[in-house]
Structure 1
Amino acid sequence: MNDRHIRIEPSILYFGTPVVLISTSNEDGSSNIAPMSSAFWLGWRCVLGIGSSSKTAENMIRTGECVLNLPSVDEVGAVNRLALLTGANPVPSSKAARGYSYEPKKFEIAGLTQINSETVSAPRAMECPVQMEAVVSAWHGLGEDSPLKGTLSVFEVRIRRVYAAPEIMMEGTRNRIDPDKWRPLIMSFQKFYGLAPKQVHESLLGEIPEALYRSPDVDRAKLESFRI
């Protein structure tokens, strides 16, 4: 067998995930918003990888909530303006070494508009086509068996509300986003990309009715709305 692969040791393994703008509430009632791309979803749950020294992690631990705003390719400028800013003061040494600076008014700097959420105190970013209010279900350290101990955190959040721009919805449906219309901003090896405008191949999984994947967290979120 002729193996054409070579063994490599890349410094990062960011093969490509959607960018998320996480908004949280600060102690004084002001808001923080930060970009990240270490996220994945299962049902109405999301797992987030965040630096432990970040203001976002601090706020999520203190308040137990956040909003996940998903920018499209059209919001890449706003995301980039946030790239080297932090709401943590003083700036953590790891971020200072990478050129970050403290900025308390990140929504304004990014050119994003704060709008009220229904179930959490953190605001949504109006310009993002998808916004999800969430509560923290669990969190723990990442790399606790290594020199990374104490520097990275993994959060599991449960979604309470999902909002979507009408222009990305599937025609004739109430609750389905059309993947042919949704153009998420993707980060791959620290560079921005968008998805191809059309799917590259038909999917057998796409033939399964989406309703069969419905999570019990959806009904839980609806029940909780009467208590808020």
Structure 2
Amino acid sequence: MAPDPASHVIVHPNVLYVGTPAFLVGSVNPNGTPNLAAASSSWALGSMLCLGIEADGQTALNIAARPGITVNYPSAPLWPALVRLSRLTGRDPVPDAKADRYTYEPDKFGAARLTPQDSELVDAPRVAECLLQFEAIVRRMTPGLSGEYFMVEAEVVRAHADPSIVRPGTDEIEPGAWHPLVYAFRHFFDRGVEVGWLPSSRMAPHPPVID
């Protein structure tokens, strides 16, 4: 039964994160040390990712100079690491716009209690604790209308997955085994139960059955 249109009310949410996977961006600082930042604005099309990256953070400076990055997807138990990173910045001095909320931290991996893992095709490290990791090359950075962020288009050049989320005998992610950390209205969630799939799925047992 369709909902009654009259039952909807006007709301004013302070953020529009309706439920997107959280991720961790690895990059390289000017002095060659690793940087790590938490983010949650992204979408994918083919081999391209479009990431929303804050313009005044160290990550934006790093990838403008060295376009090799990693995009690492934490599962639900790692949510405390994102909280630990949420008020830290790799920029020194801290930008004025962040001075009242952020603290400079040169060792973001250590602060997050995460482990850097060498990549194969880019200089930026992966996050060892993340079950799904992408190595990517930034192809374009487009300033947002407000000037507060960049839309970063990055081409995935290598994907790494823990065997626990790979369907045996294939190089495909097992959808039912993969539980990304979902960020919705500033709260973290585990992924819910599967309710269906598209006809184009290569992993489904049969075409979807719908009325």
Alpha-carbon deviation of 1:162?
0.3
Alignment partners' CA distance in 2, 1:132 and 1:47? 13
Q: 139, 142, 150: which one pairs with 1:140? A: 142
Higher helix proportion (structure 1 or 2) = 1
Aligned partner of 2:114 in structure 1 is 112
Structure 2 partner of 1:128: 130
Equivalent position to 1:92, from 92, 95, 112: 95
Rounded Cα–Cα distance in structure 1 between residues aligned with 2:174 and 2:13: 35
Partner deviation per Cα, 1:99-125 (whole Å, 9 max, x = no partner): 211100010111111111111111111
Q: 1:199 to 1:102 in 2, by over 3 A?
A: same
Distance 1:94 1:138 in 2: 25
Consecutive aligned runs of 4 or more in structure 1 exceeding 6 Å deviation: none
User: CA shift at 1:210, angstroms?
Assistant: 3.6
Identify the match of residue 69 of structure 1 among 69, 72, 78: 72
Pairing 1:152–2:144 present:
no
Q: Give the corresponding residue for 1:31.
A: 34
- Counterpart-to-counterpart distance in 2, 1:89 and 1:131: 28
Residues of 2 paired with 1:18 and 1:167: CA distance? 19
Q: Give the stretch that moved more between structures: 78-87 or 151-160.
A: 78-87
Amino acid at match of 1:78: A
Superposition pairs of residues 1-228 of structure 1, within 5 angstroms: 3-97=6-100, 99-143=101-145, 148=146, 150-173=147-170, 175-196=171-192, 198-200=193-195, 202-203=196-197, 205=198, 207-210=199-202
C-alpha separation in 2, matches of 1:47 and 1:172: 31
Question: CA separation in 2, counterparts of 1:73 and 1:59?
Answer: 28
Q: Distance in 1 between matches of 2:31 and 2:23?
A: 24
Q: CA deviation at 1:2?
A: 5.0
Structure 2 residue runs of 5 or longer lacking an equivalent are: 204-211
d(CA) in 1 for partners of 2:188 and 2:27?
A: 24
Q: AA paired with 2:183? A: M
Q: 1:122 to 1:3 in 2, by over 3 A?
A: same
- Measured on the aligned residues, the alpha-carbon RMSD in Å equals 1.6
SS in 2 for 1:33: strand
Scaled by the length of structure 2, what TM-score is found? Answer: 0.90
Amino acid in the other structure paired with 1:52: A
Structure 2: which amino acid aligns with 1:46? L
TM-score normalised to structure 1 length:
0.83
What is the distance in 1 between the residues matched to 2:83 and 2:173?
26
Structure 1 gaps, min length 5? 212-228
Which residue is equivalent to 1:219?
A: none
Instruction: Give distance in 1, aligned partners of 2:55 and 2:160.
Output: 28
Counterpart secondary structure, 2:176: coil
Output one character per residue of 1:55-105: Cα deviation in whole Å (capped at 9) or x when no partner: 0111011111210011111211222211111101111222223x2111000
Most deviating of 74-83 and 35-44? 74-83
Counterpart-to-counterpart distance in 2, 1:14 and 1:127: 24
Query: Per-residue displacement from partner, 1:156-214 (whole Å, max 9, x unpaired)?
Result: 000011000000112332x2111111110011111111112x312x22x1x32549xxx
Give distance in 2, aligned partners of 1:93 and 1:131: 33
Residues 109-146 of structure 1 show CA distances to partners (whole Å, capped at 9, x for unaligned) of 11111111111111111111011110011111111xxx
2:167 & 2:178 partners in 1: Cα distance? Answer: 10
